[in-house]
Amino acid sequence: MGASRPESLNMPVKARPSKGHILPPSPPDTDREYSSSEPSDTEAKALPSNRGKPSTRKLPSYPLPPEARSDNTVLIEDFKTPDSHVIRDPRLVRLTGIHPFNVEAPLSDLYDEGFLTTKDLHYVRNHGAVPKVEDSEIMDWDFKIEGMVENPIHMSLAQLIQEYEQVTYPVTLVCAGNRRKEQNVVRKTKGFSWGAAGLSTALWTGVAISDLIRASMPRRGARYVCFEGADKLPNGYYGTSIKLSWAMDAERGVMLAHKMNGETLPPDHGKPLRVVIPGQIGGRSVKWLKRIIVTKEPSDNWYHIYDNRVLPTMVDPEMSANLPETWKDERYAIYDLNTNSAICYPAHDEELLLDEPERSYKIRGYAYAGGGKRITRVEITLDKGKTWILANVSYPEDQYRLAPEGETLFGGRIDVSWRESSFCWCFWDLDIPVSQLQVTDDIMVRAMDEAMMVQPRDMYWSVLGMMNNPWFRVVIHREDHNLRFEHPTQPALMPGGWMERVKKAGGNLSNGYWGEQLAGEAGAPTPIEPTKEICMTNDKVNRIITLEEFKSHDGETEPWFVVNGEVYDGKDFLDGHPGGPTSITGAAGQDASEEFLAIHSENAKAMLIHYHIGTLDKTSLALLADSESAPPKDAPPREVFLQHKAWTKAILSVKKSVSPDTKIFTFDLEHAEQAVGLPVGQHLTIRLRDPVTREAILRAYTPISSRGAKGKLDVLIKIYRDTPAQKGGRMTQALDALPLGHFVDFKGPHGKFEYLGRGLCAVSGRERKVRRFVMVCGGSGITPILAVLRAVMADCEDSTSCVVLDGNRTEEDILCRAELDAMLADNKDRYRLNYVLSRPSPSWTGRRGRIDKNLIAEEVGPRTSTDGEGDMILVCGPKPLEENVLSIFTEMGWKKDDMLFF
């Protein structure tokens, strides 16, 4: 920070809970020298020779970037991801698991750095892998300006630096999801949980975009400027747009930046070229820029349409999936930031000793507005909004306006003095007597901008959880000899905050009173059942296993796998696993933590103790190859879609309703000629991620695609929705809420059963001859039954007979009925079909009731078996149906070996 650092920013490195005072202002560092225009070696080659040597002089009056850390390295967490080339700071809080990299700094650390943020602690929002650009390739990086222009431009970064004037100015970038965790606590949105540190400020150096667009000569009728990056994502390259008039308005300061705080852009921040749009949400400032397209209409990029929007508050996640025109409505697109503020000190869980009640405590925080507007006031209330106190506000950004005419910084002219716009955050503080804090319950802050827009008291919840800006509230707890302060939330999955505490106690966070129980409200707080911890390790096992040893057991005979860093040997459970041996061999040699913990019951977790053989050493665990690692860019297209040990992405392209609660979801595979690769009778696993917690949701399904289908995958899914009485299905509701064009992960095949044809099948690898299949199903349980039935009936040389008992509630609940009936019409000699309805209409002429012993005795009869050939029962449906069927057939003398439950 420069010599004129505001007093309110001269804080200690750590919070001082015992006193709560700030340190006295430090004297200006007048002896420090700086270079106002030092180019890097690669940039120097691109600069004209007449630019002269960089000048060296005393510190200016405006802030300079803090020193960045020199000891950061590639973190262990990133070794097994596509970002293994990116150096990062370990202090950053990961919001979406290991990858992609979405992070914010701890709020206190961010504030302590002052007005400018180092590259180490600057927040990061990545949708996928970071493009890798070597230093030697920087100046050759090229981009295009095309579309509705008379003079299309295709130029390199070297040309951009050499041919256009460079400017430098500070800009605060803010993620539209800043403070989203608060919304997620009230009600889950479709976004992950940002805390209050989803913003950062840096000095950006580059070229005013208006200069470039003017040179491209936009045509009459052009109204928008679209940007597209080099980050290839499941739904295309990341892209968005802003209005052409904004890009051409010098007051708005839109630039193409190639430096951050005087250095080449770091990989996470767009190396080597990005867009920087002051005053607008960070999602518009496209990184790794490759294309600028001048258009008549807003961008049609998937990420412009389905990201960075505030839909009306009555649109919930389930509704949002079926409102394509709503998503495309530009009225709901977010551009300018709204007014917002937060309290940074007192920090969360900071303690203030009550040894000197006569002294004061300095409350401190930040505020920002959007669209170039300035924050004009910040107010504090200690009585829930009945009265307010004006805080002191400082604007470090204004110090750049005092720079001498023509002065350059980091190779760019300090282009601020003439502007009225405010591009940056400001800081506020207020001294409050400790005696006053002792008698209040909370501190709240609100800010107002020059358009008199003030933060609202109450939250505006929306499906994406963006632009959250209600009053920021810190609760005060009076303890024995101190006060303890509690922020509303902590970012990501970190526990803590008064909002979670109040919600767990049964409080209503949307009641307008911050969840406090009002006089006259009935009902005691709902007790929270503690999470049950399941022991999955054997205390007597203390063996340390290396990666080399672990990887030597990645086959089918001795499959070792890892869960939570512990190694398990699955060979003794190959035959007994309900999902068949492939469920274990598919995890051999891999870290199966996510899949195992997401799918298995408490009983299954407890069983792991019997297969525990040791612990993978920490270095090996960090280096363990991730099954999700991106394939080589030059890998040839695969003939078969499903992979046994790796997740593969497909794009959701169609959702077709076939009953009130069931849909066919169609996914586009990697290319039109790609086969699914699913044997008859086996299933695949679908994985989605909870949009809030990023926890994996995994479920097994049998597609209904025809056997020879290519390029497409059809999955029939019954959607279990939330009701007042009980929660619905996480996976089915998540799929239903997924917008078209989004990707889904698949893995397979799995299953212990496979139909090989003409009565021959394999169960857990052992072949068996079947003369008759008895197929019992209910609801969407028809899908694995249908796959086997199709295979039998499609082969006129297959003499295997089939009896199908299909139970449902109503006639409209019968799924795949047209195909089932069509097969019956063509194969009456070897196929019997019975529909059974528990809630039939008066006009129903078929069987009524449930699948019971009388029906089975009449339609199936006794077990038959000769010369190793006989009957096999295939069952798939709700758990009560399966339990009932097992009981009936067992009572009728059938053996467990005759029955297979999908």
Residue 815 falls within a domain, yes or no?
A: yes
798 shares its domain with 832: yes
pLDDT of residue 16: 31
Q: What is the per-residue pLDDT across 606-620, written as a single tens digit (0 to 9) for each?
A: 778 888 988 888 777
Among residues 696, 719, 750, the one where a domain terminates is: 750
Instruction: Check whether residue 601 and residue 717 sit in a common domain.
Output: no
Q: What pLDDT score was predicted for residue 322?
A: 79
Structure tokens, 477: 């707890």
Confidence of residue 270 (pLDDT cuts 50, 70, 90): very high
How many domains, the chain? 3
* 155 burial level (CB within 10 Å; 0-12, 13-18, 19+): middle
- Angle at which helices 817-826 and 782-794 cross, to 10°: 30
**Greater pLDDT, 29 or 75:** 75
Residue-number span of the structural domain to which 732 is assigned? 648-750
Angle at 84 between CA 81 and CA 87, to 5 degrees: 130
pLDDT tens, 664-695? Answer: 999 999 899 999 999 999 999 998 876 555 67
Active site residues: 175, 307-308
Q: Could you tell me which residue, 311 or 864, shows the higher pLDDT?
A: 311
Instruction: Say if residue 175 carries a ligand binding annotation.
Output: yes
Q: Tell me the per-residue pLDDT of 106-122, one tens digit each, with 9 for 90 and over.
A: 999 999 999 999 999 99
Q: Where do runs of H (alpha helix) occur along 452-565?
A: 498-504, 547-551
708 and 668 co-located in one domain = yes
CATH, residue 609: 3.10.120.10
Mean pLDDT lowest for which of 138-142, 213-217, 353-357, 600-604? 600-604
pLDDT at residue 413 above 80?
yes
> Which has the closest alpha carbon to 348: 160, 519, 491?
491
What is the predicted pLDDT for the residue at 528?
38
* Mean pLDDT (whole number) for 764-782: 89
pLDDT beyond 70 at 581: no
Mean pLDDT calculated for residue range 585-592: 72
Q: Note the pLDDT of residue 879.
A: 85
Domain termination site, one of 572, 588, 623: 623
Where does the pLDDT of residue 140 fall: very low under 50, low under 70, confident under 90, or very high at 90 and above?
very high
Mean pLDDT of 22-42: 38
pLDDT band at 448 (very low <50, low <70, confident <90, very high): very high
775: left (phi over 0), alpha (psi -120 to 50) or beta: beta
Higher per-residue pLDDT: 11 or 395: 395
199 CB-side CA count, 13 A: 33
Q: What are phi and psi of 431, to 5 degrees?
A: -85, 125
What pLDDT is recorded for position 231? Answer: 93
Q: What CATH code is carried by the domain that includes residue 672? A: 2.40.30.10
Q: Answer yes or no: do 786 and 864 share one domain.
A: yes
Domain identity same for 720 and 760:
no
Encode pLDDT of 64-103 as tens digits: 999 999 999 999 889 888 999 999 999 999 998 888 999 9
Residue 75 CA to residue 91 CA, distance in Å, equals 11
Alpha carbon distance 397, 450 (integer Å): 16
Same domain, 764 and 707: no
Comparing C-alpha atoms, which of 382, 144, 157 is closest to residue 257? Answer: 157
Last residue within a domain, chosen from 694, 720, 750? 750
pLDDT at residue 803 above 80? yes
Percent of the chain beyond pLDDT 90?
57
d(CA 831, CA 795): 13
Q: Which of 279-288, 441-450, 795-804 has the lowest mean pLDDT?
A: 795-804
What residue ranges in 209-349 does DSSP mark as E strands? 224-233, 236-243, 255-260, 263-264, 274-276, 289-295, 340-345
Q: Who has greater pLDDT, 28 or 482?
A: 482
- Identify each DSSP E strand in 438-554 by its residue range: 442-449, 472-478, 482-486, 544-545
> In this prediction, what percent of the chain has a pLDDT beyond 70?
86
The verdict on residue 766 lying in a domain is: yes
The residues near 52 (Cβ < 8 Å, ≥ 6 apart) are: none
594, pLDDT greater than 70 = no
Does residue 818 lie in a domain region? yes
The answer to whether position 315 is within a domain reads no
Q: Which residue has the higher pLDDT, 630 or 217?
A: 217
Does 712 lie in the same domain as 664? Answer: yes
Residue 3 has pLDDT above 80, yes or no: no
Q: In terms of Cα–Cα distance, which of 585, 544, 578, 582 is closest to 561? A: 585
Residue 321 pLDDT greater than 80, yes or no: no
pLDDT tens digits, one per residue of 625-664: 444 444 455 567 889 999 887 888 899 999 999 888 899 9
pLDDT at 703: 93
Q: What is the CATH number of the domain that holds 800?
A: 3.40.50.80
| 763 and 883, same domain (yes or no) | yes
CA atoms within 13 A on the CB side of 617: 10
pLDDT for the residue numbered 54:
44
At 582 the pLDDT is: 61
Whether the predicted pLDDT of 362 surpasses 90: yes
Mean pLDDT of the region 123-133: 95
Tell me which of 217-221, 388-392, 637-641 is least confident.
637-641
User: Does the pLDDT of residue 367 top 70, yes or no?
Assistant: yes
Mean pLDDT, residues 382-402 taken together: 96
pTM above 0.85, yes or no: no
Q: pLDDT band at 600, cuts 50/70/90?
A: low
Let me know if residue 552 belongs to a domain.
Answer: yes
- When pLDDT is averaged across residues 154-172 and rounded to a whole number, the result is 97
Q: Is residue 363 part of a domain?
A: no
Q: pLDDT, tens digit, for every residue of 833-887?
A: 999 999 999 999 999 999 988 888 888 887 766 555 788 999 998 888 888 888 8
Q: How far apart are CA 202 and CA 172, in angstroms?
A: 7
Mean pLDDT of all residues in 404-408: 92
- DSSP letters of 670-686? SSTT-B----TT-EEEE
C-alpha distance from residue 810 to each of 660, 778, 815, 847, 876 (Å):
11, 11, 11, 11, 18
844 found inside a domain: yes
pLDDT at 901: 86
Asked whether residue 377 is domain-assigned, the answer is no
Higher-pLDDT residue of 294, 897: 294
One domain, residues 727 and 798 = no
Average confidence score pLDDT of the chain: 86
Question: What's the CA gap between 763 and 21, in Å, rounded?
Answer: 72
Report the alpha-carbon distance of residue 732 to residue 730 in Å, rounded. 6
578 and 605 part of one domain: yes
Confidence at 318, pLDDT banded by 50, 70, 90: confident
700 and 786 within one domain = no
Does residue 773 share a domain with residue 698? no
**Per-residue pLDDT tens over the stretch 756-769:** 999 999 888 888 89
Residue 11: the pLDDT is 34
